[in-house]
A and B are shown apart, each in its own frame.
Chain A
Amino acid sequence: MSNGGSDMRSLWRGPLLAWIVLMGLFAISLGSAYIPLGHGNVAVNLLIAAVMLAVLATFLMDLKNAKSLVRIVAMAGLFWIMMMFSLTFSDYLTRW
Chain B
Amino acid sequence: MTDLARALQEPWPDLRMQREGVSLGMWFFLASEVLFFAALFCSYAIYRSYNPEAFRIAGAHTKVIYGSINTVLLLTSSLTMTVALRAATAQLRRVTLICLGITVALGLAFLITKGLEYHDDIEEHLVPGTGFPLSPPATQIFWGLYWIMTGIHAIHLSAGVVVVIAVMIIFGRRIIPVQGSTMEGVAIYWHFVDSVWIFLYPLIYLAGRA
Q: Are B79 and A15 in contact (CB under 8 A)?
A: yes
A77 touching B78 in the complex, CB below 8 Å, given contacts A34-B210, A52-B198: no
B86 touches A (CB below 8 Å): yes
Contact of B23 among A16, A49, A70, A89 (CB under 8 A): A70
Contact of A56 among B68, B87, B198, B206 (CB under 8 A): B198
Complex alpha-carbon distance, A76 and B38, angstroms: 13
Complex alpha-carbon distance, A52 and B209, angstroms: 21
Q: Are B209 and A85 in contact (CB under 8 A)?
A: no
Complex alpha-carbon distance, A30 and B71, angstroms: 11
Q: Which residue of A lies closest to B17 (CB)?
A: A67
B162 CB, min distance to chain A CBs, angstroms: 21
Q: Which residue of B lies closest to A69 (CB)?
A: B24
Chain A residue numbers with a CB within 8 Å of B75 are 19, 22-23, 26
Contact of B195 among A15, A30, A53, A66 (CB under 8 A): A53
Complex alpha-carbon distance, A42 and B205, angstroms: 11
Q: How many residues of B contact A (CB 8 A)?
A: 48
Name the interface size band of chain A: 35 or more
B120 CB, min distance to chain A CBs, angstroms: 19
Chain B residue numbers with a CB within 8 Å of A60 are 78-79, 81-82, 191
A42 touching B202 in the complex, CB below 8 Å, given contacts A56-B195, A81-B34, A88-B42: yes
For window 27-48 of A, CB contacts with B under 8 Å fall at: 29-30, 33-37, 41-42, 45-46, 48
Interface 0/1 of B185-199, CB less than 8 Å to A:
001100100110011
Chain A residue numbers with a CB within 8 Å of B68 are 26, 30
Chain B residue numbers with a CB within 8 Å of A52 are 198
Q: Are A29 and B194 in contact (CB under 8 A)?
A: no
Q: Are A49 and B34 in contact (CB under 8 A)?
A: no
A88 touching B46 in the complex, CB below 8 Å, given contacts A15-B86, A16-B79: yes
Chain A residue numbers with a CB within 8 Å of B195 are 53, 56-57
Contact of B35 among A66, A70, A80 (CB under 8 A): A80
Complex alpha-carbon distance, A8 and B78, angstroms: 17
A1 touches B (CB below 8 Å): no
A4 CB, min distance to chain B CBs, angstroms: 9
B31 touches A (CB below 8 Å): yes
Chain B residue numbers with a CB within 8 Å of A78 are 34
Q: Are B39 and A12 in contact (CB under 8 A)?
A: no
B92 CB, min distance to chain A CBs, angstroms: 7
A96 touches B (CB below 8 Å): no
Chain A residue numbers with a CB within 8 Å of B64 are 30
Could you jot down 26 A-B contacts, CB within 8 Å? A8-B95, A19-B75, A19-B79, A22-B75, A23-B75, A26-B71, A29-B202, A29-B206, A30-B68, A30-B206, A33-B206, A41-B210, A52-B198, A56-B195, A57-B191, A60-B78, A60-B79, A69-B24, A73-B24, A73-B28, A76-B31, A77-B33, A80-B35, A84-B38, A84-B42, A88-B42
